[in-house]
């Protein structure tokens, strides 16, 4: 089942471009019973691995702007470390249900944000602005969110690059992909060190994910990816809400217990 999950997750990433973290965490928690901290750590490492092939393509074609990437990482890297440490802290103090609520809210809002952009056709390029000095400050909360929930780098990073840099659209995609890869790698390494990664689960996800990513990338050329992306985002809103409700219910039960 875990190999099949890895295949399907990577397939949907390849087909729709939706980030790996926002898909992987709710699937692991809701369908496999993985503790949320382990799910986040495993999702970050898995997401980093899945993004490598695409990042190499953009790197080879010169579509990654390294100076702007560096500015993003000035804020994003400390943010992802802080988010990972905060997640571990809450888990260590027994606030697992609070973690579940926050992760559920983050995933549902991230999916909803992506859906609004998709339906509103907000992929169109806004007027070019060059406010690169703000990038580290804007990337800090993005990194914090990724370290805590593994979700958000793709949608929010793209938005920041579109509105605060003069990059061409293809450079926005390549630079944001590299940014997400770096955040996932840093966050994944941190969670590995904190013991928040299920190695056996990760290997099974990878076993299914490699062929899934390859097939997804090929099918993306012939399938209606916009409709698939919309359907996937709606499903992720439902899953994120389910995580939220599960956490709230557990908190209510704990509060009402003698």
Q: Residues 208-256: pLDDT tens digits?
A: 988 887 787 777 677 777 888 888 889 989 998 999 999 898 888 877 6
Contacts (Cβ under 8 Å, ≥6 apart) of 140: 75, 76, 78, 79
User: Which tokens sit at 108?
Assistant: 């549902």
How sure is the predictor about 12, in pLDDT bands with cuts at 50, 70 and 90? confident
Tell me what pLDDT residue 75 has.
Answer: 96
CA distance 58 to 178: 9
CA distance 31 to 238: 13
pLDDT at 66 > cutoff 90: yes
Every domain of the chain and the residues it spans: 2-16+38-247
- Could you tell me if 148 and 187 are in contact, meaning their C-beta atoms sit under 8 angstroms apart? no
| Residue 6 vs residue 15, higher pLDDT | 6
**Three-class SS of residue 151?**
coil
Contacts (Cβ under 8 Å, ≥6 apart) of 222: none
Tell me what pLDDT residue 153 has.
Answer: 74
pLDDT at 123 > cutoff 90: no
Length of the chain: 258
How sure is the predictor about 61, in pLDDT bands with cuts at 50, 70 and 90? confident
| Residue 31 vs residue 91, higher pLDDT | 31
How sure is the predictor about 124, in pLDDT bands with cuts at 50, 70 and 90? low
- Report the predicted TM-score, pTM, of the whole model to 2 decimal places: 0.86
Tell me what pLDDT residue 128 has.
Answer: 57
Tell me what pLDDT residue 127 has.
Answer: 59
pLDDT at 68 > cutoff 90: yes
CA distance 27 to 255: 27
Task: Residue 234: count other Cβ atoms within 10 Å of its Cβ.
Answer: 13
pLDDT at 122 > cutoff 60: no
How sure is the predictor about 169, in pLDDT bands with cuts at 50, 70 and 90? confident
pLDDT at 257 > cutoff 60: no
Residues 171-192: pLDDT tens digits? 888 898 899 899 999 999 999 9
**Three-class SS of residue 224?**
coil
DSSP one-letter code for 126: P
- Average pLDDT in the chain: 85
């Amino acid at each position: 089942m875990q190999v099949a999950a890895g295949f399907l997750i990577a397939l949907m990433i390849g087909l729709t471009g939706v980030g790996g973290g926002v898909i992987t965490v709710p699937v692991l928690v809701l369908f496999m019973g993985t503790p949320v901290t382990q799910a986040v750590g495993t999702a970050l490492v898995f997401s980093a691995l899945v993004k490598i092939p695409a990042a190499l393509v953009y790197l080879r074609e010169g579509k990654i702007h390294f100076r702007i990437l560096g500015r993003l990482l000035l804020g994003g890297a400390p943010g992802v470390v802080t988010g990972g440490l905060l997640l571990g802290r809450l888990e260590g103090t027994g606030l697992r249900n609070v973690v579940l609520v926050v992760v559920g809210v983050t995933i549902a809002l991230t999916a909803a944000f992506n859906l609004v952009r998709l339906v509103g056709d907000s992929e169109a390029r806004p007027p070019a602005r060059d406010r690169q000095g703000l990038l580290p400050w804007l990337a800090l909360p993005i990194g914090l969110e990724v370290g805590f929930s593994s979700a958000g780098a793709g949608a929010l990073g793209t938005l920041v690059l579109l509105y605060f840099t003069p990059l061409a659209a293809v450079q926005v995609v390549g630079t944001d992909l590299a940014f997400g890869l770096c955040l996932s790698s840093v966050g994944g390494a941190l969670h590995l060190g904190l013991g928040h990664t299920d190695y056996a689960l990760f290997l099974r996800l990878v076993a299914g994910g490699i062929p899934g990513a390859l097939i997804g990338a090929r099918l993306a050329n012939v399938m209606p990816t916009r409709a698939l992306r919309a359907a996937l985002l709606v499903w992720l809103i439902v899953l994120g809400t389910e995580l939220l409700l599960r956490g709230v219910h557990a908190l209510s039960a704990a509060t009402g217990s003698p």
